Structure 1
Amino acid sequence: MKKGVLLVNLGSPDSTSPKDVKKYLGEFLMDERVIDVPLWARTLLVKGIVLNTRPKKSAAAYQKIWWDEGSPLIVLSKRLRDKIDDHTSIPIVLSMRYGTPNIKSGLQELHDQGVDEVLIFPLYPQFAMATTETILVLAEELRKEHFPEMQFTSVPAFYNHPDYIRVLAESISEKLKAVEFQHLLFSYHGVPERHIRKSDITKSHCQIDGSCCQTASPAHQFCYRHQCFETTRLVAEYLELKENTYSVSFQSRLGFDPWLQPYTDRTIERFGKQGMKNLAIVTPAFVSDCLETLEEIAMEGEEIFHEVGGEKFTVVPCLNDREDWVKVLSRWIDEWAFSNPVEA
């Protein structure tokens, strides 16, 4: 069998025009694993409300961070793909869960190269319904319908893999070694609390309290909240960060249902009001810089901090196409390609 890899990231609008942003948001928000309510309610919310109000505002946000080459997330993902391709001997194809290039076209590209054994590689360190799960579910649906001869293997969440922790920690160290900061905030993308409970394979462990994420359980294999806190703990341990000099928050909430807390924007505001002058922030749920890191954090977050008296606001870039990150991913792919499992 011929092996190949499908790297999958979130996606982006084709341009900053409200029309393209509306198309992208429609595909994204109508995913039942993103807004997990009955179809009628999701349709009413997304098509009846959100898509009539949000595209113009989101388009303006994308315009702030758009590069000459296009969407930063797409450009950076392509650079990563190209560098991995230089390090490996099997086909490497990039797809997006939403927008273009889509997963179907990616699988078709691999198929056209004679690939019949595919490593599905979601570019998300932590597992979540709205990220990893939706990629794997769609890929399997497409396989059954269009590529029944293909076999799939998927990369598990690598939030605690020593290679990932080392590269993430080194990226933080490099950015902050010449910067004075009082606190390092680990900001992860938020999800509704109900997603955590739905992903609990024990149906009883996840209480979203102060103890369940620290208590060993099979539920942690699919618990986004636990995996975020564990990533933070391992990086802090690697960097020998002192207690109370770092913390976790969650960004990008939508709607009125309870989402994972504390919220990043309110945390930044609180730190400033408490007199903190120098704050650093890292976003480990993302491996590629995007709207949520470049605009929501680096622009809006800094504005909030300055408005309440903060002075120095330092943002650690995502891993993007760092050479050490490229080497790690290339090695994981080669381990799989030559029959050695990639273990988290």
Structure 2
Amino acid sequence: MKGILLVNLGSPESPTAKDVKPYLDEFLMDERVIDVPYWARVLIVRGIILNTRPKASAAAYQKIWWEEGSPLIVISEKLQEKVQEQLENYPVALAMRYGSMTIKKGLQELVGKGVDEVLLFPLYPQFAMATTETITVLAEKLRKEHFPNIKITDFPAFYNDPDYIDVLSDSISKNLEGKSIEHLLFSYHGVPERHIFKRDVTKSHCKIDKSCCITPSSAHEYCYRHQCLEVTRLVAKKLDLKPGAYSSSFQSRLGFDPWLQPPTDRTIERLGKQGIKSMAVVTPAFVSDCLETLEEIAMEGQEIFHEIGGKDFTTIPCLNYDEPWVNLLSKWIKSWAEPSIAERV
């Protein structure tokens, strides 16, 4: 029997420092998030970050927390429910990479329903060490240790899938309808530059310059930067955006090592200084709104823009559980479960 496991990032149990601390510990101690030797990770995370950051992160979570709970969890659960409605013959479970809704629990739920073949679906359009890879690696480890009789198929990155680009572009258009926007900023979650070099299968193509991401290469299959910039290019083409009316940036830096450029906060500031009075931000590295979109962009980004003289700041919601996204996700899953219907995986 076939089943589906949707996997998102995760969330602390509550917006308190007490619950944020163990969540951050699990997240930041992941060797694919902070990819340094274990001893150095312990020093950085438990010796420095966890002594200061939980309180600040808890305050940020408190700003965006819903009555039902963490926005990311609530949205992901609604997505799961809506996808399950369209897939009556296949159990759909939900798990988080970090926190109490573990991947192990998700796999156990499916196995308990008689599933022996699982489609593992990381809810990220682009491949990255700290998102899709950490999910697929952990799922395979759990399979070997606890579920040796099941088969797991990983759903690939879908950043350049034409149907996904259509759904994303339509969502942007819908949310900007009736608005006069001078600049559309595509803000992606940042990663250290070393992550890009580490996953360059050619060991020579990635230069993180103006040419490598637009020069065809097998490296692009695992290049987060290329995949982000390609989303921007494809959506800009679909929406017929003019040069200079859109750009890409990367948010959420941590530490002092070089990260992908340019930073979102400084880009918003620069646009304001250039005289842009109305702008919108879309965050295509996420399919579900979360702390990074609801607080870092919608609140902090707007504050930066207004302080520099900007007037109208629009945050475009993630796809969340919008009907077109649910329909597309369900279509992809059906094409895996019933290959005779369509070819996708």
Matched, 1:246 2:274: no
Matched, 1:153 2:153: yes
Q: What secondary structure, in the 3-state scheme, does the structure 1 residue paired with 2:335 have?
A: helix
> What is the match of residue 62 of structure 1?
61
TM-superposed deviation, 1:342: 5.4
Q: Deviations over 1:210-253 (max 9, x none)?
A: 00000000000000000000011111111111111100000001
Does the Cα contact within 8 Å between 1:191 and 1:260 map onto a contact in 2? yes
> What is the match of residue 124 of structure 1?
124
Q: Deviations over 1:14-40 (max 9, x none)?
A: 101101100100000000000000000
Residue 178 of structure 2 aligns with an amino acid whose one-letter code is: A
> What is the match of residue 3 of structure 1?
2
Distance across 2 between alignment mates of 1:100 and 1:165: 32
**Relative to 1, partners in 2 of residues 1:304 and 1:174: Cα closer, same or farther, differing over 3 Å?**
same
> What is the match of residue 199 of structure 1?
199
TM-score, normalization: structure 1? 0.99
Does the Cα contact within 8 Å between 1:188 and 1:248 map onto a contact in 2? yes
> What is the match of residue 330 of structure 2?
330
Residue 136 of structure 1 aligns with an amino acid whose one-letter code is: T
Matched, 1:165 2:173: no
Q: What secondary structure, in the 3-state scheme, does the structure 2 residue paired with 1:94 have?
A: strand
Give the number of aligned pairs: 343
Runs of 4+ with deviation above 6 angstroms: none
**1:1-344 aligned within 5 A:** 2-88=1-87, 89-339=89-339, 343=344
Distance across 2 between alignment mates of 1:180 and 1:281: 13
TM-superposed deviation, 1:180: 1.1
Distance across 2 between alignment mates of 1:277 and 1:30: 41
Distance across 2 between alignment mates of 1:213 and 1:189: 17
TM-superposed deviation, 1:339: 2.6
Distance across 2 between alignment mates of 1:111 and 1:191: 34
Does the Cα contact within 8 Å between 1:95 and 1:106 map onto a contact in 2? yes
Residue 335 of structure 1 aligns with an amino acid whose one-letter code is: S
Distance across 2 between alignment mates of 1:150 and 1:203: 34
TM-score, normalization: structure 2? 0.98
Distance across 1 between alignment mates of 2:304 and 2:100: 33
Q: Deviations over 1:169-196 (max 9, x none)?
A: 0000001121111000000000000000
Distance across 2 between alignment mates of 1:30 and 1:316: 31
Residue 273 of structure 2 aligns with an amino acid whose one-letter code is: K
Does the Cα contact within 8 Å between 1:165 and 1:235 map onto a contact in 2? yes
Does the Cα contact within 8 Å between 1:155 and 1:342 map onto a contact in 2? no
Distance across 1 between alignment mates of 2:25 and 2:286: 22
Give the CA RMSD over aligned residues.
0.8
Identity score, percent: 70
Q: What secondary structure, in the 3-state scheme, does the structure 2 residue paired with 1:67 have?
A: coil
Residue 117 of structure 1 aligns with an amino acid whose one-letter code is: E
Distance across 2 between alignment mates of 1:336 and 1:74: 25
Residue 263 of structure 1 aligns with an amino acid whose one-letter code is: P
Q: Deviations over 1:103-143 (max 9, x none)?
A: 00000000100101000000000000000000000000000
Does the Cα contact within 8 Å between 1:4 and 1:91 map onto a contact in 2? yes
Q: What secondary structure, in the 3-state scheme, does the structure 1 residue paired with 2:52 have?
A: helix
Q: Deviations over 1:258-304 (max 9, x none)?
A: 00000000000011111110011100000000000000000000000
Structure 2 portions without partners, runs of 5+: none
Q: What secondary structure, in the 3-state scheme, does the structure 1 residue paired with 2:47 have?
A: helix
Does the Cα contact within 8 Å between 2:335 and 2:344 map onto a contact in 1? no
